[in-house]
Amino acid sequence: MRIKIAVCDDSTVDQWYVSDMVDRWAVQREHTVHVDTFISAESFLFHYAEESDYDILLLDIEMGEMDGVSMARQLRRGNDAVQIIFITGHSDYISEGYEVEALHYLMKPVREEKLHSVLDRAVEKLAKNEKVLDLESGGEMVRVPVYQIRYADVYGNYVTIHAAETVTVKMTLKELEKELDERFYRVGRSYIVNLTRINRVSRAEIKLSDGTAIPLPRGAYDEVNRAIINTRNNR
């Protein structure tokens, strides 16, 4: 598998240390890996404007003028596929990682076996993101990457899938559910939601990261939260 990785850290020593571990991981797993290193968030974003095909980003949090979390937010506006792994000496930012759908936090000094394990998970997610649904809508075939699906709702005999584009197809919600994986959760009779896109849950509704509110059936609050926890533990 060919993988493009960026290491962004304002310490050249840490850049070398992490890159060296990535190289050993690639040899052990027989992956073809290209690694670029960047000294600041700004230098990465300047390069990213021309080359945005990175698969994995190993990102320090506390850097110069722009911190790693702010940089990740900027990336997520146009790229929800890249796997973001934060590397930091502080645990204060962990809650902010959910906002940018970070795969994991690694505390400095990074242990090699832990980094290798997280990189394995990143590759698994990249493979999942390659899955697409081929759907017939409006007399034409439409390809929808599964990872882009935020939620789906049903009206009558039609299901509307809300992804990068909104697609309405003639099928049942149960038929769609069979095509999806463990990242998705059935909410009552009318909705399927992507658990990784949930921002918060109240007893009345699920709020997605794009601001969409999904009504939550009575008694479903605890079950939804368990599903979210299980999904995050498996990420």
pLDDT per residue of the chain (235 residues) written in tens, 0 to 9: 789 999 999 999 999 999 999 999 999 999 999 999 999 999 999 999 999 889 999 999 988 888 899 999 999 888 888 999 999 887 666 666 667 888 899 999 999 999 999 999 999 888 888 888 999 998 899 999 898 899 999 999 999 999 989 999 999 999 999 999 889 999 999 999 999 889 899 999 999 988 999 999 998 999 999 998 887 666 5
CATH number, domain 2-129: 3.40.50.2300
Nearest to 163 by CA among 135, 199, 205, 190: 135
- What pTM was estimated for this model as a whole? 0.67
CA distance 119 to 108: 16
Domain ranges, ordered by start, for the chain: 2-129, 132-233
Cβ atoms 193, 185 nearer than 8 A: yes
Q: What is the DSSP letter of 140?
A: E
* CATH class belonging to 132-233: mainly beta
Cβ atoms 232, 198 nearer than 8 A: no
